[in-house]
Amino acid sequence: MSQNTFFQTRGAASHPSRQRGMTLVETMIAITISLILLAGVLQIFIGNKQTYRVQDAVARLQESGRFAVRFLTKDLRMAGFMGCASINSMSNPPTNMADLDGDGVADTVAAFDGDGLQGWESSQLPVALSDTQNLNEGTAVGQALPGTDIISIKRASDTGVRLTGNMATVNANIQLLTATVNGMFATDDILMVTNCENSDIFAANNVSNGAGTTTIAHSNAVNIGNFLSTSYGTDAEVMQLENTAYFVGNNDKGIPSLFRMEMGNAGVLTTQELIEGVDDMQILYGEDTDGDRTADVYRDATAVADMRQVVSVRIALTIRTIEDNIATVTDATYNDKRLRRTFTTTVTLRNRVI
């Protein structure tokens, strides 16, 4: 053997062949470790996503609760508002003359029953909120859900316009300065006029603008008569009558929501959906039984003997998340996994306690 051959052989033996891949066992171990890490990452992602969904749903739930309570408390505080007049300062409630349908009977929509406040249980439905519109119990759109409560609030608007001159007689037209009216009154509007001692509700059969003066006529074309209860002077003011009813019903997607029926021109009530996802509304009425203008007992609408003695209202609204599968357990009452919160508030009727 030559010397060159010897060194070549020894050189080859001292340099083993390089590894060119992984064994099957090593590959399986690597895949297993990767799957464990991936499962951990996915679990963290799913947990964070669920936490976000819950927090977002709770935030929307609270927002809906605040809005619903705000809508109701704003109107309830002003129930029975009559400008400078109040229920306690007048011996009689406002005289209702409005008769837009010409049947010779004052319209229900303008009646100041209960001095601006009425409440019902769904079991008392249907009730006539106007001469042409009834509120019924049921699950169809525009009906009050069984087991829920309904409340109706009547009041004069916040903006009143003073007469520019005295009425010569009780059947004289009402005169207002056009600059102060600013187009807020129209023919067939249901209005209220008051001088702090007397008050009348009537329909305007004509609203016309003259030389700086707006004239409101109240003839028997849209009223049960031409005569108001008294001749009003420059100390009197005219306001629109506001009539609002709140109830819980299904919307067109079958989701229970808070609805408001609001009176427009010609006494027509239009229904608006306010808050989606309201399952229930329960109302208790605080009665003043001893005349000190403080609630002594809270009762359901069916147990209230005289709504004119109610000085406060307690409302409980049950609101749910729109999305299902938010909660970890099934709600036995509603058979779903939505989150629910009950928002409760007590509202003093300002015009009953002054």
Prior bond to 146 cis, omega within 30? no
Domain ranges for the chain, please list them: 57-353
Give the per-residue SS3 of 25-58: HHHHHHHHHHHHHHHHHHHHHHHHHHHHHHHHHH
Report the pLDDT value the prediction gives residue 42, as an integer from 0 to 100: 81
Query: What is the b/e burial string over 44-78, where b = at least 16 CB atoms within 10 angstroms of the residue's CB?
Result: eeeeeeeeeeeeebeebbeebbeebbebbbebbbb
Report the pLDDT value the prediction gives residue 69, as an integer from 0 to 100: 95
Residues with Cβ within 8 Å of residue 95, at least 6 apart in sequence:
198, 199, 200, 201, 228, 229
CB atoms within 10 A of CB 178: 15
Q: Shortest CA distance to 238 belongs to which of 188, 163, 153?
A: 163
Report the pLDDT value the prediction gives residue 225, as an integer from 0 to 100: 92
What is the helix (H) or strand (E) element at residue 162, kind and residue range?
strand 161-162
- CA 193, CA 136: separation in Å to the nearest integer? 32
Taking a C-beta distance cutoff of 8 angstroms, is the pair 312, 295 a contact? Answer: yes
Q: What is the pLDDT along the chain (354 residues), one digit of tens a residue?
A: 455 554 454 555 555 556 566 788 878 888 888 888 888 788 877 767 777 777 888 888 999 999 999 999 999 999 999 988 776 667 678 899 999 999 999 999 999 988 899 999 999 999 999 998 999 999 999 999 999 999 999 999 988 999 998 998 999 999 999 888 888 999 999 999 998 888 999 999 999 988 889 999 999 999 999 999 999 999 999 999 999 999 999 999 999 999 999 999 999 999 999 999 999 999 999 999 998 999 999 999 999 999 999 999 999 999 999 888 888 889 888 999 899 999 999 999 998 887
- Tokens linked to 82: 């009559």
Taking a C-beta distance cutoff of 8 angstroms, is the pair 118, 93 a contact? Answer: no
- Tokens linked to 200: 């009348």
